[in-house]
């Protein structure tokens, strides 16, 4: 005996009637991000530029400190990190992120900016290497003196130059762009061209809103954010496709001349509302736990995804159907006008 679980359906959700109002929230979030970014970029504050850009995109140094024979990731973790931080700052740099690596290592990252001077230029590479070597020597000496029970302390530095960062940005933009174009083609073939345009606009909105919240809350923009962007776009497009599948089914039931766009959009979204909300909500629970109780690097990865899933839920339910409805209404309006003109000419 099968037990079929049926989700409740909501009726009379006025989606299309308020189509233009659904665009206000994303625009407001983007506006707030622009204001915050402008404030962050003004001189004389503690922030470093419009957005918190990591070394993956602007160049920097990855310092790995490995220590055997002492609990570097347990009881001594904070003391070891504070020692590294003090040495790095004494040499004019500032740590942007830190994380554990393997069983006995800590990895810290800092931009190649020494006392406010940019050392990413090729003419200053040798100077930056010399500064990193000084940091390595001081870290090893300090930790060996502090933890005499450690059998070995090894520090190493790897520089990420601006050229590699530019290549990463170009590849990231290319990957996101290709993904969105392929989704447009797929949805246009499976449903209709307007569905593809609406889904693409909704996905683009998710990306912009996600980046806007990242800027507002000063979350670091690094390579993991690109993975988060692609994840959010894929998740959001899945919810949008479910709704457009209902739109297609109801559209088949009516001929173009009798198509009521408002009722079609409202009915389709109402039937999928609970399913879409619950699927996003359950995902949010897992990601929120990861953000709250994970290490800092996981938190920096999880928070943008939380922003993206929330934006994707909103755009799938309100933005994408509204855009499709507006485009379809415009098409039907032109068709009616053309038929009327043809009828007048025959007279």
DSSP assignment of 16-30 equals GGGGGGGGHHHHHHH
Quick one: pLDDT at residue 34?
95
294 phi and psi, to 5 degrees?
Answer: -85, 175
Residue 201 has pLDDT above 90, yes or no: yes
| Distance of alpha carbon 106 from alpha carbon 33, whole angstroms | 33
Give the least confident one: 23-27, 113-117, 237-241, 343-347. 343-347
Residue 55 belongs to some domain of the structure: no
The separation between CA 36 and the C-alpha centre of its own chain, rounded to angstroms, equals: 18
C-alpha–C-alpha distance, residues 40 and 30, integer Å? 15
pLDDT at residue 89 greater than cutoff 60: yes
Q: How confident is the model at residue 53 (pLDDT cuts 50, 70, 90)?
A: confident
CATH code, domain carrying 236 = 1.20.1640.10
pLDDT for res 1: 45
Q: Write down the pTM of the prediction.
A: 0.81
Domain harbouring 142, CATH code: 3.30.70.3400
Q: State percent of the chain over pLDDT 90.
A: 34
What is residue 317's DSSP assignment?
I
Maximum mean pLDDT: which of 36-45, 213-222, 305-314, 334-343: 305-314
Helix (H) or strand (E) holding 49: none
Question: Total domain count for the chain?
Answer: 2
**In this predicted structure, what is the pLDDT of residue 21?**
94
User: Encoding tokens for residue 23?
Assistant: 């665009």
Alpha-carbon span 218 to 234, nearest angstrom: 24
Is residue 171 over pLDDT 50? yes
Q: Containing domain of residue 141, as a range?
A: 60-160
3-class state of residue 2 by DSSP? coil
169-197: average pLDDT: 86
Among 120, 141, 160, give the residue marking a domain's end.
160
């Amino acid at each position: 005996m099968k037990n079929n679980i049926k989700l409740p359906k909501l009726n009379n959700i006025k989606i299309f009637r308020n189509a233009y109002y659904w665009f206000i929230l994303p625009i407001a979030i983007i506006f707030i991000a622009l204001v915050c970014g402008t404030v962050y970029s003004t001189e004389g504050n503690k922030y470093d530029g419009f957005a918190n850009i990591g070394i993956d995109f602007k160049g920097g140094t990855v310092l790995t400190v490995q220590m055997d024979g002492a609990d570097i990731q347990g009881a001594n973790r904070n003391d070891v990190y504070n020692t590294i931080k003090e040495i790095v700052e004494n040499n004019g740099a500032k740590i942007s992120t830190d994380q554990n690596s393997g069983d006995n290592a800590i990895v810290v990252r800092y931009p190649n900016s020494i006392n406010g001077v940019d050392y990413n230029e090729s003419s200053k590479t040798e100077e930056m290497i010399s500064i990193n070597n000084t940091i390595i020597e001081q870290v090893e000496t300090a930790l060996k003196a502090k933890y005499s029970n450690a059998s070995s302390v090894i520090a190493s530095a790897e520089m990420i130059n601006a050229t590699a960062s530019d290549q990463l940005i170009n590849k990231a933009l290319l990957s996101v762009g290709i993904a969105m174009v392929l989704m447009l083609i797929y949805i246009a073939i499976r449903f209709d061209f307007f569905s593809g345009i609406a889904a693409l606009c909704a996905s683009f909105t998710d990306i912009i809103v996600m980046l806007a919240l990242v800027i507002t809350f000063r979350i670091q923009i690094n390579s993991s954010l690109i993975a988060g962007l692609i994840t959010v776009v894929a998740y959001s497009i899945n919810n949008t496709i479910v709704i457009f599948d209902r739109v297609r089914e109801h559209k088949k039931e009516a001929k173009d001349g009798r198509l009521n766009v408002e009722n079609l959009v409202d009915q389709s979204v109402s039937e999928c509302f609970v399913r879409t909300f619950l699927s996003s909500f359950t995902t949010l629970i897992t990601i929120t736990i990861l953000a709250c109780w994970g290490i800092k690097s996981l938190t920096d990865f999880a928070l943008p995804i939380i922003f993206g899933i929330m934006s994707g839920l909103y755009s799938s339910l309100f933005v994408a159907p509204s855009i499709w409805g507006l485009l379809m209404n415009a098409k039907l309006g032109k068709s009616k006008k053309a038929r009327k003109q043809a009828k007048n000419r025959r007279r």
